[in-house]
A and B are shown apart, each in its own frame.
Chain A
Amino acid sequence: MAAITEPVAANANQINQDILRVLTPPSSLYVISVLLLMGVVGAGVAALAYQTWKGFGVTGLNHPVMWGVYITSFVFWVGIAHAGTLISAILYLFRAKWRSAINRGAEAMTVFAVITAALFPLIHIGRLWKVYFMLPYPNQRGLWVNFKSPLIWDVFAVNTYMIISILFLYVGLIPDIAAARDKCTDWRRNLYNILALGWRGTAEQWRHHARTVLHLSGLATPLVLSVHSVVSWDFAVSLVPGWHTTIFAPYFVAGAIFSGMAMVITLMVPVRKAFGLEAHIRSEHFDNMGKFIVLTSSIVAYSYAIEFFMAWYSANPFEQGSFWHRAFGDYWWATWIMIICNVVIPLPLWIKRVRVNVVALWVISIFINLGMWFERFVIITTGLSHEYNPAAWGYYTPSWVELTILLASFAWFLMWFLLFLRIFPIVAIQEVKESHYETQEEGAH
């Protein structure tokens, strides 16, 4: 195994030290990066303010394409969020030990990705001050929200997901916050003191804690399936050609896990390098993540194929026209970017040597991120631009406002991730230690 050549933590104390070292005062590079990201976020806020002031006309959205970059990005970020829950909850239930090195990073990523995603419907509303219309509240009109609308399903699904993933992250963090509390000497000690909620690691506490993690995993696993399914039904329950198809739910979920896993790799490779976590995030972890990429990429490829086939098989001219347009029409380039990035470029990962090559894996993961953004763009834009009536076909080009906000969303996401990195342990200390003790005891027998 390649892992043998890499450093392995000698004892629990060293694990503690290694991981908590990330929390030591930041380098100037770090501060500059955060400031830079904040600047980009600021540009996005300015663009949003401009859009809110001038009206929705400053975007490229117009008839017939009324959903564009914003909804694409919403779906993209919700998708990114999925790997966190997958790694934390599903792999926890399957007792896959390798998750321990990356689950904290993935959970944090989930929270920030959902928060980023949740911004986009608000941005897309245009009239931000009417946001509360989405919630059921008593009002003089005597109307409640329409629970038959998939968009309201989304409100419930995304908010539930946000709350549950925050709780999941926090519950997992409690013992690690206590570990940080016991080593910390600066201002953060008070913060940790409060957030650790009196954690002392007694058997009684661990017993309830383990139960809680188990139940949250059990709840989060169907939740993660449901969230992206609900997002997919935003499209699938309508009658737009190219949208109304039954495979959408599992297809979106697989795509979400695919893109989310790619994002975990994109983030964790630099973090591992920058903070010297090579002993804790090892090539076996990358190998397993690579396998997940291979699996989900195959499912996504199957879905692309079956979608095209069923469009033809339906013998429905609108359906056929929509898919012809998708592959060879105005947006052929987006479609082929999507297919190449999501199906072709991940192919080398079938070979183990590529999976454990961190640089190769990292580069591929970036292409997947790109490809998955384009997948949502392709579905949304080509579907709307080419509906039933040829007279109402159209072409959509995003404006600079939309692109600025899109860019800012990446900065916003990374900014939170970087801030999190310096305040909370980015690797689950207790779990790494647990595996450490387990290997030690196995060795003793």
Chain B
Amino acid sequence: MAQVLGVLSTPGGTVAAVESLKQAGFDNLEVYSPVPSHAIEHALGKGPSWVRLWTLIGGLTGVATGYLMTIWMAYDSGVVIGGKPFASIPAYTIIAFELTILFGGVLTVLGLMAHGLLRTARRDPVYRPSFSNDEFGCLVRCHSDQIPRVQELLQGAGSMEVRVVEG
């Protein structure tokens, strides 16, 4: 498997490069970008992120914890306060609400780490510092005899630099 990297200067150019590569049948792409871009994401054609599932699980756990914890603890203490019933649902709704947000939020960030960060935290020979500044990278993984074709496509899309990287 060979890797070809094209360095581009704008999100628009990157989208064009991705589109032309996709059309030519190269699907194993990776894009480096200093900014988030819907257009690039759309061009790469990836589905929605799994992070949403983490939020859902966190939120449901939170709401269940909130109600169960408060009701159980009130019964366990067994002290009547302010003439209110042990299971004072309106009061506990507030706790349940806060825990929904808390668990949902924490699990969302854990989801980000699990899917987006920690899994990809190993050293990356392709990465260069300018990718966090003002340059975009379009990395194509392809069979080694297709290198010239990929290079040509990347050049055609206006890459400032195209080179084969060791991987």
Is A183 engaged at the interface, CB distance under 8 Å to the other chain?
yes
Per-residue 0/1 for A130-173: is the Cβ within 8 Å of any B Cβ (1 yes, 0 no)?
A: 00000010000011111111001100110110011001001100
Main SS of the interface on chain A?
helix
Contact check, A142 vs B77: say whether CB atoms are below 8 A apart.
yes
Residues of chain B within 8 A (CB-CB) of A209 are 36, 112, 116
Measured in the bound complex, the distance between the Cα atoms of B90 and A153 in whole Å is: 12
Contact check, B134 vs A212: say whether CB atoms are below 8 A apart.
no
Among A170-219, those with CB < 8 Å from B are 170-171, 174-175, 178-179, 181-183, 197-212, 215-216, 219
Q: How far is the CB of A428 from chain B (nearest CB, A)?
A: 11
Given the known interface contacts A13-B134, A164-B102, A210-B36, the answer about A203 and B49 at a Cβ–Cβ threshold of 8 Å is no
Is B143 engaged at the interface, CB distance under 8 Å to the other chain?
no
Q: Which of A178, A212, A223 contacts B108 (CB 8 A)?
A: A212
Among B12-46, those with CB < 8 Å from A are 12, 30-37, 40-41, 44, 46
Shortest Cβ distance from A229 into B: residue: B94
Shortest Cβ distance from B112 into A: residue: A212
Residues of chain A within 8 A (CB-CB) of B163 are none
Shortest Cβ distance from B9 into A: residue: A12
Contact check, B109 vs A160: say whether CB atoms are below 8 A apart.
no
Interface size class of A (residues with CB under 8 A): 35 or more
Contact check, B99 vs A160: say whether CB atoms are below 8 A apart.
yes
Stretch from B80-88, B145-153, B154-162 at the A interface: B80-88
Contact check, B105 vs A202: say whether CB atoms are below 8 A apart.
no
Stretch from A101-109, A279-287, A361-369, A434-442 at the B interface: A434-442
Contact check, B32 vs A219: say whether CB atoms are below 8 A apart.
no
Residues of chain B within 8 A (CB-CB) of A223 are 98, 101
Measured in the bound complex, the distance between the Cα atoms of B116 and A147 in whole Å is: 38
Q: Which of B32, B52, B88, B91 contacts A200 (CB 8 A)?
A: B32
Shortest Cβ distance from B56 into A: residue: A215
Contact check, A202 vs B31: say whether CB atoms are below 8 A apart.
yes
Contact check, B120 vs A205: say whether CB atoms are below 8 A apart.
yes
Per-residue 0/1 for A318-355: is the Cβ within 8 Å of any B Cβ (1 yes, 0 no)?
A: 00000000000000000000000000000000000000
Is B167 engaged at the interface, CB distance under 8 Å to the other chain?
no
Interface centre among A12, A170, A174, A211 (most CB of B within 10 A): A211
Is A11 engaged at the interface, CB distance under 8 Å to the other chain?
yes
Contact check, B95 vs A153: say whether CB atoms are below 8 A apart.
yes
Contact check, A207 vs B81: say whether CB atoms are below 8 A apart.
no
Measured in the bound complex, the distance between the Cα atoms of B50 and A137 in whole Å is: 34
Contact check, B111 vs A212: say whether CB atoms are below 8 A apart.
yes
Shortest Cβ distance from B136 into A: residue: A201
Q: How far is the CB of B156 from chain A (nearest CB, A)?
A: 18
Is A385 engaged at the interface, CB distance under 8 Å to the other chain?
no
Residues of chain A within 8 A (CB-CB) of B124 are 200
Is B117 engaged at the interface, CB distance under 8 Å to the other chain?
yes
Residues of chain B within 8 A (CB-CB) of A288 are none
Contact check, B32 vs A163: say whether CB atoms are below 8 A apart.
no
Measured in the bound complex, the distance between the Cα atoms of B127 and A356 in whole Å is: 42
Contact check, A215 vs B52: say whether CB atoms are below 8 A apart.
yes
Measured in the bound complex, the distance between the Cα atoms of B97 and A404 in whole Å is: 36
Measured in the bound complex, the distance between the Cα atoms of B117 and A102 in whole Å is: 26
Measured in the bound complex, the distance between the Cα atoms of B101 and A223 in whole Å is: 7
Measured in the bound complex, the distance between the Cα atoms of B43 and A36 in whole Å is: 53
Contact check, A160 vs B41: say whether CB atoms are below 8 A apart.
no
Is A222 engaged at the interface, CB distance under 8 Å to the other chain?
yes
Contact check, B116 vs A156: say whether CB atoms are below 8 A apart.
no
Residues of chain A within 8 A (CB-CB) of B12 are 437, 441, 444
Given the known interface contacts A12-B134, A148-B82, the answer about A206 and B73 at a Cβ–Cβ threshold of 8 Å is no
Is B51 engaged at the interface, CB distance under 8 Å to the other chain?
yes
Contact check, B98 vs A226: say whether CB atoms are below 8 A apart.
yes
Contact check, A197 vs B49: say whether CB atoms are below 8 A apart.
no
Q: How far is the CB of B141 from chain A (nearest CB, A)?
A: 13
A-B CB contact pairs (8 Å), 20 listed: A136-B73, A147-B74, A148-B82, A149-B81, A157-B94, A160-B102, A163-B106, A164-B101, A182-B131, A197-B121, A198-B122, A199-B132, A202-B32, A202-B33, A202-B120, A204-B46, A211-B51, A216-B108, A219-B108, A220-B101
- A156-B99, A157-B98, A171-B109 provided; 17 other pairs, C-beta below 8 A? A136-B73, A142-B77, A156-B98, A181-B132, A182-B129, A182-B133, A200-B124, A201-B132, A204-B116, A206-B36, A210-B41, A210-B49, A212-B111, A216-B105, A220-B101, A233-B94, A437-B11
A: residues with CB less than 8 A from B are 11-13, 16, 136, 142-149, 152-153, 156-157, 159-160, 163-164, 167, 170-171, 174-175, 178-179, 181-183, 197-212, 215-216, 219-220, 222-223, 226, 230, 233, 430-431, 433-434, 437, 440-441, 444
